Amino acid sequence: MTKELNTVIAEIFAVSIIAGFVGSLLGIGGGLIVIPFLSIVFKFNMHQAAAAGLVSVIATSSGAASAYVKDKLTHLRIGMFLQLATVIGGVLGAILSGILPAKVLSLIFGILLLYNSFLMIKNRKSDEKPQPSSLQISKWAKKLKLYGSYFDKIQNREIEYSAQNIAGGFSMMIFAGILSGLLGIGSGIFKVLALDTIMKLPFKVSTATSNFMMGVTALASISIYLARGDIVYDACGAVAVGVLFGSLLGAKVMPYIKSKYLRVAFALVLIYTSIEMIKKGLF
């Protein structure tokens, strides 16, 4: 391996640590950081960058999932339930590809994401409000067992929760799957929005469950890139190790960060993503 290649791999590794750390905290995977870095800085084509992005998502999920499950932050049942909606949406997106105007969809959803980012900031203290004396569990949440609890280390108390507006969250994930298929965008942000904004789960539960869900989705997609020869093994190896290390670090730190700060950080990512989607729709 040449000195120049060693330097490139070291740089990719360093950025991947940051990507894994941020991805595990916010439940969005590391692709949002890894893909632009590889395509802009190192001139990878988009297929190669996207393949490395999928590797980063799998590594983030692998690194953070075990820690979040142990801390009871990940709700596996809710994750698998919404995963059904993502698959349905992905199939519909493939069917509708070429029929619906992708630019219009991108513009509309970019505006919606921008609106949701301000809601996130406005509701940043919602997880810190006192709990009601008795948790209200809807009929469907009880039937599907979409409720649970976790111990918040900052507030030093057990926080009980139950999924609300289940139909709305499921519909959001179908729509997210359609958009992912039509526009080629990741669905981590939409998963967190469905879990937090619509289903009213605590933000830490939303990000932890999203981390788990993304790994399942990415595993289903990586084989396509592998078959096409889009995997740059040196780069993907550095991404996998760096993101895994960063995600483990993020999983250790996340329980000690106040939810309101995580919400604000997520809102900033939303604003960036919404601006990119609006630009796609306009130009």
Residue 12 has what pLDDT? 93
Comparing CA positions, the residue from 1, 19, 180 lying closest to residue 86 is: 180
Q: Are 68 and 281 in contact (CB under 8 A)?
A: no
Contacts within 8 Å (CB) and 24+ apart, 120-124:
120/196, 120/197, 120/263, 120/264, 120/266, 120/267, 120/270, 121/263, 121/264, 121/267, 123/263, 124/259, 124/260, 124/261, 124/263, 124/264, 124/267
**H/E stretch holding 202:** none
Residue 253 has what pLDDT? 92
Residue 1 has what pLDDT? 46
CA angle centred on 265, ends 261 and 268, rounded to 5°: 140
98: phi > 0 → left, psi -120 to 50 → alpha, else beta; which?
left
pTM of the model: 0.82
- pLDDT block averages, 10 residues each, the chain of length 283: 74 93 87 84 84 86 83 91 85 70 75 80 67 74 92 89 93 80 67 88 92 78 79 90 93 90 88 84 81
Alpha-carbon distance 91 to 218, whole Å?
15
Alpha-carbon distance 172 to 208, whole Å?
18
Alpha-carbon distance 200 to 205, whole Å?
10
- Alpha helix (H) residue ranges in 71-202: 76-96, 102-122, 139-144, 166-183, 188-193
Residue 147 has what pLDDT? 93
Residue 226 has what pLDDT? 82
Q: Are 140 and 54 in contact (CB under 8 A)?
A: no
Q: Are 26 and 192 in contact (CB under 8 A)?
A: yes
- Alpha helix (H) residue ranges in 145-232: 166-183, 188-193, 203-228
The helix, strand and coil proportions of the chain, stated in percent and rounded to the nearest 5, come to 75, 5, 20
- Report the 10 Å Cβ neighbour count for 173: 28
Amino acid letter for position 57: V
Alpha-carbon distance 135 to 147, whole Å?
10
Residue 98 has what pLDDT? 63
Amino acid letter for position 206: S
Q: What are phi and psi of 147, to 5 degrees?
A: -145, 165
